[in-house]
Amino acid sequence: MIVKYSLDTYKPHQHLLRVEMEVHPDKQETLLCIPNWSPGSYKIRDYSKSIHKLDFVSPGPGWTLEQIELDTWKIHSKGETFKISYLVYGYEHTVRTNYFTSELILVHPPATFLYPKDKLYLEVEVSWKNLAPFRYCHTGLKKKEGSKNTWKAKNFDEFFDAPLLLSNEKEITFSVQGCAFDLVILGDVPSADKKKIAKDLETIMKTQITHMGGTENRYYLFILDMTENLYGGLEHLNSSVNQYDPNGFRSPENYRTLMELLSHEYFHHWNVKRIRPIALGPFDYQKPNLTKELWIAEGITSFFDAYFLLLCDIYTPQQYLNKIWKDILELEESAGESWMSLEDSSFTAWTKYYNRPFDPNFSNTGISYYTKGAVLSIAMHLYILSETKGKKSLFDVMQALNKQYHQEKKRGFTKAEFFQAAKKATGLDLKLEFDAYIGEPKRIPIEAYLHLAGIERTPSKPKLEPGFRVKEDRGKLIITKILLGKSIQDTDINVGDEWISIDGRRTLPETYKELLNQYQPKKGAEILISRRGQILKRKIKFDSSPSNCELWIDEKAKPEALAIREKFLHWNKEIKVSETNSKNSKQKQASPKRSRSK
């Protein structure tokens, strides 16, 4: 039995898409559901809100259609084949939602297609009545043989995992080890920049495929939407949708951030899509698939995304260390590690991590399984390299998981099985070494692991820490975050307060940093704030911040550490350490801080 869909662009300028659905039921009544979330983006999205005017195309006598749940409709067709049609509104420009305009149509299947309940195993066909006014349809689905505008999927899991893009943008093609790649870049990006992105992407793909021992894919589609104020990515089985701000992306720092994003989403075609925690498949699209192992799915991927750029010489060793330091600093500036474990962060992602934009206290009580998972992965990688004298690494663990659970057992793995596979691959008990930093709210002593490779934290002049963060809002400074664990935590200052002055001097967006530079840690000051129209005085005491510290290469490290460093940093022996330190002594990562969530 095949479920068929026919799509019509309808009124793209009004952000509407018409869907017709043909179902051959095996019962008198059929329940149709719309997914509530998307794999890879762990939050209930309530996609049913965008479904409108659902009705029969040609109803038979006595047929009925009724919505019985927010995400479910009951169809009574007396067991006869029926067609329904409905409109989908799509104007939310993210990687996990629909976006329909006269310039492009991006169809996110879980947000678009109803499916027969408990029939996810059915084959699926989808066709476009007319591509006009667009020239191309880009998708990871296979074309139906002999058809021009019809694609097929073996089941709904495959169907929901393949976005469709209508545009007038032709793809850039390249091939790596038997896999054909298409790269579609949307936006006002010069041809020379598109070619550079494609060339660097090809290098990254070659490196990933080589280090993972090959790829099962024969085709992969990158969709890169270059639109201002956008950032994000969502992985699929043989494609990914990526969004990035084109403003300033040519700067080396921002360009590396873009390549990290693409590297991250591609590595997911192994880690998550094939190598996966057991809870992440098969999916229940109506309720959360809970797992405590997102630190594996996303954290390990977040380590490898930048690490592959190092292996491809897109990052220099010092630039890579600067990137590592940013992740370490993000954890050290927060009190979240004393509140939440990596497993808790993974399990509660649906209600906590994904809601952090609406929770100003998240940075104090929560952690990112992306960030801490990446730092944990660095520690694991260095530990394995050190204990095996460079003969084994985290790559061996990932290859073992892929072979044992994806290829042979064709299923996901438990946490215990993850560590069993790691021990078999490396001879090391990673659970004994690292489990406390996974299951408990405990800091990872990352400096001890970096020391194994002769990498040290070099302190700089202490930087002042007021204990809160601010943003500019129409010329005002608005407090956005209060840091627990700082002297400020016992002061009556709230998120949303306006910061007016310090010791009688006006604080403005363009001047407050210069004013802060005149103070020293442990010194006090009086500030004025405005809260609900009232002017209030508060006394604060400044702390010191680790943000002025950096990671540096120790020139006097022991020989065994030098050998591990060579393995870890892809170190070129012809480059003297002192020259590298000198060249990068003032280099900072200037790329904007990015949220890694989908």
Instruction: Indicate whether 529 and 562 sit together in one domain.
Output: no
In a domain, 423, yes or no: yes
**Strand residues in 283-340 grouped as ranges (E):** none
3-state SS string for 433-474: HHCHHHHCCCCCCHHHHHHCCCEEEECCCCEEECCEEEEEEC
Residue 427 gets which letter from DSSP? S
Q: What is the DSSP letter of 338?
A: G
CA 424, 430, 435, 438 dihedral sign is negative
Residues 486 and 574 in one domain: no
Is there a single domain that holds both residue 484 and residue 514? yes
Dihedral angle sign, alpha carbons of residues 82, 83, 87, 90 = positive
In a domain, 44, yes or no: yes
Supply the CATH number for residue 194's domain.
1.10.390.10
CB-based contact 255:249 (threshold 8 Å): yes
Residue 593 confidence (pLDDT): 53
The DSSP letter of residue 271 is B
277 located within any domain: no
CATH number for the domain spanning 514: value is 2.30.42.10
Distance CA 452, CA 389 (A): 11
- Give the domain-ending residue among 251, 267, 283: 267
pLDDT value at position 485? 75
Query: Does 285 reside within a domain?
Result: no
CATH code, domain carrying 41 = 2.60.40.3650
Helix axis angle, 394-401 to 415-426, nearest 10°: 120
Clarify whether residues 242 and 306 are in a common domain: no
Query: Do 152 and 73 belong together in one domain?
Result: yes
Where in the sequence is the domain holding 504, given as residue range(s)?
Answer: 463-547
Which residues, 6+ apart, have CB-to-CB distance to 139 below 8 Å?
151, 162, 163, 164, 165, 221, 239
Alpha-carbon 252 to chain mean position:
21
- Of the candidates 347, 398, 288, 322, the residue with the CA atom closest to the CA atom of residue 36: 288
Q: Is residue 201 part of a domain?
A: yes
Adjacency order of strands within the sheet including 219-226: 172-176, 179-186, 219-226, 239-244, 231-235
| 534-541/524-531 β-pairing | antiparallel
Please say which residue of 117, 132, 167 terminates a domain. Answer: 167
Q: What's the one-letter identity of residue 449?
A: Y
Confirm whether 594 is domain-assigned: no
Cα 321 to Cα 58, 249, 474, distances in angstroms: 64, 21, 37
Residue 560 to residue 368: CA distance in whole angstroms: 33
| Residue with token string 């976006």 | 99
- State the Cα–Cα distance between residues 372 and 350, nearest whole angstrom: 17
For 276-308, letters b (16+ CB in 10 Å) and e give bbebbeebebeebbebbbbbbbbbbbbbbbbbb
Helix (H, G, I), strand (E, B), or coil: what is residue 125? strand
Please list the rounded mean pLDDT of every run of 10 residues in the chain (598 residues): 95 96 97 98 98 97 97 97 98 98 97 98 97 95 94 98 98 98 97 97 98 97 97 98 95 97 98 97 96 98 98 96 94 91 98 93 93 98 98 98 98 98 98 98 97 89 82 94 82 95 95 90 92 95 79 90 94 42 40 61
**Parallel/antiparallel/unpaired status of strands 16-23 and 498-502:** unpaired
Quote the pTM value.
0.92
Is residue 387 in a domain?
yes
Spell out where 64-204 has E strands: 64-69, 72-76, 82-89, 99-100, 105-107, 115-116, 123-128, 136-139, 142-143, 150-153, 164-167, 172-176, 179-186
Both 531 and 576 in one domain: the answer is no
Give the burial class of 519: count Cβ atoms within 10 A of its Cβ; 0-12 exposed, 13-18 middle, 19 or more buried.
middle
CB contact at 8 A, 48 and 110: no
Rg of the chain over all Cα atoms, to the nearest angstrom: 26
- Same domain for 65 and 188, yes or no, is no
The two three-digit tokens of residue 84, written as one number: 């329904």
* 231 vs 242: CA distance, rounded Å: 8
Same-domain check for residues 373 and 301: yes
The sign of the torsion formed by the CA atoms of 251, 257, 260, 261 equals: negative
Q: Which of 232, 267, 302 is the last residue of a domain?
A: 267
Alpha-carbon span 68 to 197, nearest angstrom: 48
Count: domains in the chain? 4
196 and 126 part of one domain = no
Task: Cis check for the bond before 462: say yes or no (omega within 30 of 0).
Answer: no
| φ, ψ of residue 256 in degrees (nearest 5) | -65, -35
Instruction: Based on the fold, state whether residues 253 and 303 are members of the same structural domain.
Output: no
Do 369 and 503 lie in a common domain? Answer: no
Does the residue 282 lie in any domain? no
Asked if the bond preceding 357 is cis, omega within 30° of 0, the reply is no
Q: Which residues contact 280 (CB under 8 A, 6 or more apart)?
A: 39, 272, 289, 291, 297, 412
Are the C-beta atoms of residues 33 and 285 closer than 8 Å to each other? yes
The answer to whether residues 320 and 216 belong to one domain is no
